[in-house]
Amino acid sequence: MAGLKRKATTAKSEAIDNEYEIASDLQLDLSSDGESHGESQADSWDGIESDSDEYTITEDANGNVRYIYPEIDPVYDSDDTDAAEGENTVGNIPLSYYDAYPHIGYDINGKRIARPAKGEALDSLLDSIDLPEGWTGLTDPATGKPLRLSNQELDMLKQLTKNEIVNGEGFDPYPDYVDWFTHKEEIMPLSAAPEPKRRFVPSMHEHKRVMKMVKAIKEGRIKPWREITDEEREKAEEEEDIKRYDVWADEKPVPDHVMNIPAPKLPPPGFAESYRPPREYLPDENEKKAWQTADPEERERDFLPQEFSSVRLVPGYEKFVEERLNRCLDLYLAPRVRRSKLNIDPEDLLPQLPDPESLKPFPSTCTTTCRGHKGRVRSVSFDPSGTYMASGGDDGTVRIWEPLTGRQLWHTEFSEAVNCVAWRPGEACLILAACSGDEVHFIIPTALCTPAMEAAGKEILSTGFNSEKSTNEKAKWILSKQKDRISLSLGRTVKVLNFHRKGDYFTTVSPSSSAPTSSVAIHILSQHTTSWPFKKVKGLPQTATFHPTKPHFVLVTQRIVKIYDLARQELVTTLHPGARWVSSVSMHPAGTNLVLATYDRKLLWHDLQLGNKPYKTLRFHESAIRVARFHDKLPLFADASDDGTCQVFHGGVVRDGLENATIVPLKVLRGHRVMGQLGVLDLNWHPREAWLVSAGSDGTVRVWT
């Protein structure tokens, strides 16, 4: 610091010496010129001007050099501004106060400013025609003279009217951004010089100043606090005597504005915010890791519940200020909307369904109960004419009943339980198929047939045995000597049997087969042949059926439904019911819809034209649904459940497909008893009438009309 002061003093002295040398040189030159021309020395100094525009060099009265600087021209906002000559100094008052006087004010010297003369109308017209430079047509209110503007002021007004920058020639308001150092991201520091030691050592000068202040405080020369004076003490006592009261005590409440919407209240704290929450609210290690790794927006809470033994051990909440800020931002920025509650009748939200009374006929009453089976009745079926109905059960018997009276007309016995019975389509003959164990038996009940029907049935069963024998060892066809019965042995328990609408083809499903590829088989009755069409099946097959109008085959596994084209041998579509276990399938006679029964208590309606997801999902049962069936002629379908009930529905389907199916619950049929957690195991519709027959685990067969 001392070196810098010495350099500044030396520079200043050198500047003064240079200044005197210049002045002495000029004085010598001017003295020689003055002697030759006879002019005074003072006159010579007046003619000399400095090269700089800041001052002029002359001689003072003593003959020394004098620097004359130009007069300061302050700006308008300067406090040292001198009033111009002739300017009215009356201040910011209206000139109408001087209407009764010949003058309009006073100048800075106190002299009156005469009122300017006004020309006549002709002079005004001539002035407007011959416009002088800077003419504005306005009058200066301070002087009463015409207000004229300079060219610079006129240009400024033009620029302002055009929204341009004033005096901005060559000025670019949006210059290109220039990186003053570099546009590249530097990895290393610009300077690798080590930090000086003075940045890590306490300042000695500050230490000396602090020690001086400490010494002065100890000696009493500096007092850390100022003593209260007598005046301040008296003033404080006077303020204590002043009576203080609530200035808003008598204020009247002002009602809120009509458009005011109160702020929504915060939800009350829950158990998770307690200092000792219940155990189920405390997160475990996995939940803590999941909460820490999740994004703040995806977290259910902004904090993790913690447990403390007492309230005094609860620390401060670190996010309190942040939550208060967010709350204030919501109140300040979020728009508020007052929503009016709609008084809507809940019934108006439900679809308008037709009255069940208008959808009659449908079964509603149990008219006939058939008893004779010793054990569960597994399957039941109406013959194509609707005259007889057959049933099969765990007692290994197949019985044929009369629907109207419930009288048993015919029966036969097998060595194993009968899982399925089905009549062959066609009224020309009576052929009953019964699945007992791993065999399928085709029987002609001769006691119920006319001679013509018996002959037609024997011809159908015996046709094909004269042809070449099949080498297939998995399926064996055996014809009885009386030619009234055929036995098909498959080597695995058959649970499902469904006929094609023409009666020659039928399919069997064995869900308990060890090989899924051999679970589903398609048979030809007239040729006594069997084929297994699937080399690979995903999932466990549950049931299968034929399409009622197209050469399609419907295969139902445990979770999906696949429809195949038998003519082209390709997959048509795959349905995804979304159920855990499908138990049964039934195709609508039109072939555009199907219904699925599931063990997880759901009845699924699929519209094949709407996609592979269920169109409707019906949940009305308390237990698993075993089977669902469509009526062949009427818009009815029903299902059977292990809760001992059958539910009848109206299923209206438009043939042209312009409207979706209409599903209306009609009736709940109760009558079967639940035994061993099993209820109704099978049901079937009358081919023409609105009659329903059901088979239950209580060993009865009931006819509902």
Q: Which of 110-114, 238-242, 549-553 has the highest mean pLDDT?
A: 549-553
The answer to whether residue 20 is domain-embedded is: yes
Q: Which domain holds residue 562?
A: 357-704
Distance between first and last Cα of the chain = 120
pLDDT of residue 133: 67
With 50 as the cut, is the pLDDT of residue 15 above it? no
pLDDT of residue 596: 94
The answer to whether residue 308 is domain-embedded is: no
pLDDT of residue 119: 62
pLDDT of residue 311: 92
Confidence of residue 458 (pLDDT cuts 50, 70, 90): confident
As a whole number, mean pLDDT of residues 378-398 equals 93
The answer to whether residue 162 is domain-embedded is: no
Confidence of residue 60 (pLDDT cuts 50, 70, 90): confident
With 60 as the cut, is the pLDDT of residue 9 above it? no
Could you give the number of structural domains in the chain? 2
Across the beta sheet with 520-524, the strand order is: 496-499, 505-509, 520-524, 529-531
The answer to whether residue 451 is domain-embedded is: yes
With 90 as the cut, is the pLDDT of residue 128 above it? no
With 50 as the cut, is the pLDDT of residue 3 above it? no
SS (H, E, C) 469-505: CCCCCCCEEEECCCCCEEEEECCCCCCEEEECCCCCE
pLDDT of residue 642: 93
Lowest mean pLDDT among 29-38, 227-236, 353-362: 29-38
Percent of the chain with pLDDT over 90: 41
CA distance 531 to 534: 9
Mean pLDDT, the chain, rounded, equals: 83
Which CATH number do you get for residue 428? 2.130.10.10
As a whole number, mean pLDDT of residues 343-366 equals 85
* Chain centroid, CA 303 distance in Å: 23
The answer to whether residue 43 is domain-embedded is: yes
3-state class of 412 per DSSP? Answer: strand
With 60 as the cut, is the pLDDT of residue 16 above it? no
Domain final position from 23, 38, 68: 68
pLDDT of residue 484: 76
pLDDT of residue 639: 94
pTM equals 0.54
Domain final position from 68, 96, 113: 68
Q: Which of 442, 542, 550 is nearest to 486 (CA)?
A: 442
The answer to whether residue 523 is domain-embedded is: yes
Helix (H) or strand (E) holding 349: helix 346-349
pLDDT of residue 12: 41
Lowest mean pLDDT among 35-39, 185-189, 571-575, 646-650: 35-39
Domain final position from 68, 93, 114: 68
pLDDT of residue 240: 83
Q: What amino acid is encoded at 647 in this protein?
A: Q
Backbone angles phi, psi at 415, to 5 degrees: -75, -25
Looking at per-residue confidence, does 127 or 195 come out higher? 195
pLDDT of residue 223: 84
Lowest mean pLDDT among 5-9, 83-87, 394-398, 666-670: 5-9
Tokens at residue 255, please? 């009602």
pLDDT in tens, 604-613: 999 998 889 9
pLDDT in tens, 461-477: 888 765 444 556 678 88
pLDDT in tens, 268-317: 999 999 999 999 999 999 999 999 999 988 888 888 999 999 999 999 99
As a whole number, mean pLDDT of residues 690-696 equals 94
The answer to whether residue 491 is domain-embedded is: yes
- Do 705 and 365 meet the contact criterion of CB atoms below 8 Å apart? yes
pLDDT of residue 122: 60
Q: Which of 75-79, 95-99, 261-265 has the highest mean pLDDT?
A: 261-265
pLDDT of residue 126: 66
* Torsion on CA atoms 414, 420, 425, 430, rounded to nearest 10: 20
The answer to whether residue 693 is domain-embedded is: yes
As a whole number, mean pLDDT of residues 170-191 equals 77
Confidence of residue 13 (pLDDT cuts 50, 70, 90): very low
Percent of the chain with pLDDT over 70: 86
CA distance to 24, 31, 47, 66, 67, per residue, from 58 (Å): 13, 14, 8, 5, 6
With 60 as the cut, is the pLDDT of residue 529 above it? yes
